[in-house]
Amino acid sequence: MLPLVDLDSDFLFSELDSLGVTTILMTLSAEFGIELEAKDATPKNLRTLDSIAAMVEEKLREIK
């Protein structure tokens, strides 16, 4: 289950605790078949939905 956050927030990362960040990374990894690690859990990558999507797209490009 994904953590509850305000998706309209200008800075999603600040609303997440470590368990929330881990849950998001694990869910995205499983859903898209990509490897996300702790090093991917940066404020830049998790700032907004667009930045999360960009991180996933980059990981997908890396495996093709």
Residue 54: predicted pLDDT: 97
What does each of the 64 residues of the chain score in pLDDT, given as a tens digit?
Answer: 555 555 555 556 666 778 888 888 999 999 999 999 889 988 889 888 889 999 999 999 998 7
Please report whether residue 3 resides in a domain. no
**Cα separation, 49 vs 64, whole angstroms:** 23
Q: What is the model's pTM?
A: 0.76
Please report whether residue 50 resides in a domain. yes
Residue 7: predicted pLDDT: 52
Task: Pull the structure tokens for residue 16.
Answer: 């997440």
Determine the structural domain holding residue 48 and report its residue range: 12-63
Please report whether residue 7 resides in a domain. no
Residue 53: predicted pLDDT: 94
Residue 24: predicted pLDDT: 86
